[in-house]
Amino acid sequence: MSSLKAHVHTACQLLLVDKIRELRSELDDLQEGAENDAKSSAGDKHETARAMMQTEHARIGQLLSETIHQKNTLDQLDPLQHASSVVPGSLIKTQRGWFYLSIPIGKTSVDDTLVIALSPLSPLGSQFMNKRTGETAEVNGTKYIIEEIQ
């Protein structure tokens, strides 16, 4: 029963590790490009290109920081924890599908099961909090009946 939850948790961790690796690689490529560009250019075009590179470096750096924060948040959740009501880290089965109350990374498929990872602070996540099996969460007129909590 909780093996699906453990697989979902691991899949989310792997997605974040891959994203962190990609973002670090992009930052390295930008740094290398900036170093090569500094050796060969001068003038207004050079300054514009350099400013664009700095903006992109800052954007990717911010994404990296946010992704590392998400990974740290996810790492604090215990996939073996079981609660009788919905808490951060709960895997929730509803008549509309599975939801992993953790971090907002969206849809992932685990063991042929589509699971949506969402934040406890999201509109739906906050409606799920502290609910028990059989209770209903509602967002924008859409009802989600909690069938199972892992």
Same structural domain for residues 67 and 11? yes
71, 17 in Cβ contact below 8 A?
A: yes
Residue 121 is assigned to a structural domain of this protein: yes
The residues near 120 (Cβ < 8 Å, ≥ 6 apart) are 88, 101, 102, 126, 128, 129
Same structural domain for residues 57 and 111? no
Better-predicted residue by pLDDT, 41 or 68: 68
Query: Last residue of a domain, which of 75, 103, 131?
Result: 75
Residue 46 is assigned to a structural domain of this protein: yes
Average the pLDDT over each of 42-46, 74-78, 112-116 and give the range with the smallest value.
42-46
Cα separations in angstroms, 82 against 16, 102, 110, 142: 24, 14, 19, 26
23, 60 in Cβ contact below 8 A?
A: yes
The residues near 111 (Cβ < 8 Å, ≥ 6 apart) are 4, 7
**What is the count of structural domains for the chain?**
2
Residue 109 is assigned to a structural domain of this protein: yes
* 3-class DSSP assignment, residue 108: strand
Residue 81 is assigned to a structural domain of this protein: no
Same structural domain for residues 28 and 56? yes
Same structural domain for residues 6 and 71? yes
Confidence category of residue 51, pLDDT binned at 50, 70, 90: confident
Pairing, β 91-94 against β 97-101: antiparallel
Query: Last residue of a domain, which of 46, 75, 104?
Result: 75
Reported as a single tens digit per residue, the pLDDT across 86-140 is 999 999 999 999 999 999 999 999 989 999 999 999 999 999 999 999 999 999 9
Better-predicted residue by pLDDT, 25 or 31: 25
The range of the structural domain enclosing residue 19 comes to 2-75
Residue 11 is assigned to a structural domain of this protein: yes
Confidence category of residue 37, pLDDT binned at 50, 70, 90: low
To which residue do tokens 């939801």 refer?
99
pLDDT at 1: 41
Sheet holding 97-101, edge to edge: 106-110, 113-118, 97-101, 91-94, 142-149, 136-139
Same structural domain for residues 24 and 69? yes
Query: Last residue of a domain, which of 75, 103, 123?
Result: 75
Same structural domain for residues 13 and 70? yes
Residues facing residue 144 across a β-bridge:
137
